[in-house]
């Protein structure tokens, strides 16, 4: 039997590791109670903390991506993306031809003024953002959009806090395992 591979679930493995060995056999008419130690609680709590950290990292990346997509959409609707293209063209002309520097700088300034007047700014890589002097309605729309997104994430992360408290309140490793299984 040395060639047989034993397959066990991650949670069964964790339970065996935390409880300290194989589960005992079920005997009829005998109720089993296993002590649930502070160390076992710490292992479950650490597992939840790690899972929460991963979710927070995922949220951070997703928030950045979501904000960028929203700003692109907002810029497209307001016509700012066309102005950004003018800025890119003007920047390239400055690099390519020294003779055209004066004309290109003038076009660049006109495009930046137009973009700023529309409530946007762009960095040297062409990444759009709302200008701090953007119309209030644009800033409120962005804040409302991202506020809903952040509220949903906060509620999801709260589930991990509740599960951590439930692990600490659990009387058995099986109870703690149930709290963790739903989120990990």
| Residues 121-154: tens digit of each pLDDT | 888 898 888 888 888 888 888 888 888 889 889 9
pLDDT, tens digit, 9 for 90 and up, residues 41-82: 999 999 999 999 999 999 999 999 998 998 888 888 888 888
Position 1 confidence tier, pLDDT thresholds 50, 70, 90: very low
> Model confidence over 98-123: pLDDT tens digits?
888 888 888 888 888 888 888 888 88
Task: Tell me the C-alpha distance between 88 and 182, whole Å.
Answer: 49
Q: What pairs with residue 155 in β-bridges?
A: none
């Amino acid at each position: 039997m040395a060639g047989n591979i034993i397959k066990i679930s991650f949670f069964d493995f964790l339970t065996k590791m935390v409880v300290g060995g194989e589960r005992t056999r079920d005997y009829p008419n005998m109720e089993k109670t296993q002590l649930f130690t502070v160390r076992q609680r710490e292992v479950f709590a650490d597992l939840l903390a790690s899972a929460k950290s991963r979710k927070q990292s995922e949220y951070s990346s997703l928030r950045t991506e979501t904000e960028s997509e929203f700003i692109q959409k907002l810029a497209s609707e307001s016509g700012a993306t066309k102005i950004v293209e003018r800025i890119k063209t003007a920047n390239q002309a400055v690099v390519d031809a020294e003779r055209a520097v004066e004309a290109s700088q003038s076009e660049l300034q006109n495009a930046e003024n137009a973009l700023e007047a529309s409530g946007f700014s762009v960095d040297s890589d062409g990444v759009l953002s709302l200008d701090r002097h953007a119309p209030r309605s644009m800033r409120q729309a962005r804040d409302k959009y991202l506020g809903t997104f952040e509220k949903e994430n906060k509620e999801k992360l709260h589930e991990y806090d509740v599960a951590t408290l439930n692990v600490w309140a659990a009387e058995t490793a099986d109870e703690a395992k149930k709290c963790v299984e739903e989120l990990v």
